[in-house]
Amino acid sequence: MSKRFAGPEIERLIQLLAKVPGLGPRSARRAALHLIKKKEQLLGPLTVAMGDALDKVRICSTCGNVDTTDPCTICTDPRRDDTTIIVVEDVSDLWALERTGAMNARYHVLGGTLSPLDGVGPDDLNIRSLVDRVAKGGVSELILAVNATVEGQTTAHYITDQLDGLGVKVTRLAHGVPVGGELDYLDEGTLSAALKARTAF
Amino acid sequence: MSKRFAGPEIERLIQLLAKVPGLGPRSARRAALHLIKKKEQLLGPLTVAMGDALDKVRICSTCGNVDTTDPCTICTDPRRDDTTIIVVEDVSDLWALERTGAMNARYHVLGGTLSPLDGVGPDDLNIRSLVDRVAKGGVSELILAVNATVEGQTTAHYITDQLDGLGVKVTRLAHGVPVGGELDYLDEGTLSAALKARTAF
């Protein structure tokens, strides 16, 4: 804004909102105005919720998840299967898997993938703590739910190597046709994988 | 979220973020996670900025703009031209016009448009205060910068009627081809208007 036409507080709010993923400079202005107009219904409660998150959210020292307790809700849930750990790159992947409701296991959040070019080595990820968890015993299966990218697969291989001799079964997510997906739009790699892993109808 | 896998504070933050225009349920989760990860750099400052806005933002009793002072920054700016008032539907329109830097006038925010079907009558808009401002004298031109919609134009006509006899010149924004726009994609109404209002080259 070249010319000042509103108090600095409003400009600062817009600037900060523009840094939220999903909002750009234009939508940040719209969001700021909407928040200001809905002071009681939205701006107030959201400010409180953000203050709460600021005070209470921490990283789980066991699995690397974010939560308001440490250990987190998942690590302390007595109904979860202790024998299975799902390894994910990021908390967002954990959330995505939890939304499926398909598993009732424990998790381990790596915090990224190995990427020598970006200077991310094994010590920058929560790999040591994962090996320690497995070494303690009681874990029979480790599901590597990393992204199907080069970095994800490299990280998966590295982790598998580290677990050598601990007697844990290491599995990975199946490759195949996305549910609802059209073959025509899929890449050759996915189609080949889906063909190779074909199942009885 | 059918199954609890994070503290209620995080779920509440996601729920509220999903109500911000521009964010949906999916992007709200991404935004929440980003905010949590960038506690010091983003979540903290944004919480403060929102608290500031909550405390300080008010509606200008003169023009209907939102600002941290009343009268607002524009109404109190001594360098603005007192003789021209730009009438807009919403504060977002005021911001849009200010970003152009094309005018250095005062504003009046109606807070909507006349819409009998939605039960919005003249008393629900800041029309009375606009007529009062003009009646006080000193205003020579009123620019009706309302949207080119049926409701916007209806509102413009109503306001013009109310100002009858006050000796103020009422103008409206020009219709025409948007700068950078392609004729092929324009509707017939806009093209006809642009032809009628053609200017010497």
With CB atoms and an 8 Å threshold, state whether A57 touches B47.
Answer: no
- In chain A, what residues touch B43 (CB-CB under 8 Å)? 50, 53-54
Q: Do B46 and A20 touch (CB under 8 A)?
A: yes
Residue A5 has pLDDT above 80, yes or no: no
Fold of A66-172: Dna Topoisomerase Vi A Subunit; Chain: A, domain 2 (3.40.1360)
Closest residue in B to A35 (Cα) is B20
* Residues of chain A neighbouring B67 (CB-CB closer than 8 A): 6-7, 10
SS (H, E, C) B149-181: CHHHHHHHHHHHHHCCCCCCEEEECCCCCCCCC
Cβ within 8 Å, pair A6-B73: yes
User: Per-domain residue ranges for chain A?
Assistant: 8-56, 66-172
- The CATH classification number of A8-56 equals 1.10.8
Question: What is the structure's pLDDT at B183?
Answer: 86
Q: What is the pLDDT of residues A78-115, one digit of tens each?
A: 999 999 999 999 999 999 999 888 889 999 999 999 99
Do B186 and B177 form a contact (C-beta atoms < 8 A)? yes
pLDDT at B54: 94
At residue A3, the pLDDT reads: 57
pLDDT for position B157: 95
Tell whether A46 is within 8 A of chain B (Cβ): yes
Average pLDDT, chain A: 92
Residues of A in contact with B19 (CB under 8 A): 42, 46
A26 versus B200: the higher-pLDDT residue is A26
Question: What are the DSSP E strand ranges found in chain B?
Answer: 58-59, 66-67, 81-88, 105-109, 141-144, 169-172
Confidence of residue B185 (pLDDT cuts 50, 70, 90): confident
Minimum-distance CB partner of A22 among B1, B22, B74: B22
A39 touches chain B (CB under 8 A): yes
Judge whether A18 and A24 are in contact, CB under 8 Å. yes
Contacts of A91 in chain B (CB under 8 A): 33
pLDDT in tens, B16-31: 999 999 999 889 999 9
pLDDT tens string A38-59: 999 999 999 999 999 999 999 9
Locate B9 and state its tokens.
Answer: 């504070």
Q: Tell me: ipTM over 0.90.
A: no
What was the pLDDT predicted at A127? 96
The whole-number pLDDT of residue A6 equals 78
Question: What pLDDT, on a 0 to 100 scale, did the predictor assign at position A1?
Answer: 41
pLDDT of residue B94: 94
CA nearest to B15 within chain A: A46
**pLDDT computed for residue A198 by the predictor:** 87
pLDDT digits (tens, 9 = 90+) for B8-17: 899 999 999 9
Specify the higher pLDDT residue, A148 or A127: A127
Q: How far apart are CA B66 and CA A41, in angstroms?
A: 17
Q: Is residue A150 exposed (0-12), middle (13-18) or buried (19+ Cβ within 10 Å)?
A: exposed
Confidence grade of residue B169 (pLDDT, cut at 50, 70, 90): very high
Distance CA B29, CA B12 (A): 11
What's the pLDDT score for residue B1? Answer: 41
pLDDT digits (tens, 9 = 90+) for B59-97: 999 999 999 999 999 999 999 999 999 999 999 999 999
Is B22 in contact with A27 (Cβ distance < 8 A)?
A: yes
The predicted-structure confidence for A178-195, as pLDDT tens digits, reads as follows 888 888 888 888 888 888
- d(Cα B36, Cα B15) in Å, to the nearest integer? 15
Amino acid A186: pLDDT: 86
Residue listed under structure tokens 């003789």: B83
How far apart, in whole angstroms, are the C-alpha atoms of residue B163 and residue B132?
10
Contact B99 A1 (CB under 8 A): yes
Disruptive mutation site among A12, A54, A103 for chain B (greatest number of B CBs within 10 Å): A54
Looking at the predicted structure, is the pLDDT value of residue A2 above 80? no
Contact B16 A42 (CB under 8 A): yes
Q: For residue B3, what pLDDT band results from cuts at 50, 70 and 90?
A: low
CB burial string B26-48: b at 16+ within 10 A, e below: ebbbbbbbbbbbeeeebbebbbb
- What are the chain B neighbours of A65 within 8 Å (beta carbons)? 6
More confident residue, B89 or A199: B89
Residue of A nearest to B17 (CA): A46
Phi, psi of A103 (to 5 degrees): -125, 155
Chain B contact present for A22, CB below 8 A: yes
How far from the centroid of its chain's Cα atoms is residue B51's Cα?
A: 22
- Within 126-185 of B, beta carbons closer than 8 Å to A belong to none
Quick: pLDDT tens for B98-143: 988 888 999 999 999 999 899 999 999 999 999 999 999 999 999 9
CB pairs under 8 A between A and B: 185
Answer yes or no: do A73 and B44 touch at CB < 8 A.
Answer: no
What is the arithmetic mean of pLDDT over A111-128?
A: 94
Q: Which of B21, B30, B91 sits opposite A92 (nearest CB)?
A: B30
In this complex, which of B29, B39, B101 lies closest to A95 when CB atoms are compared? B29
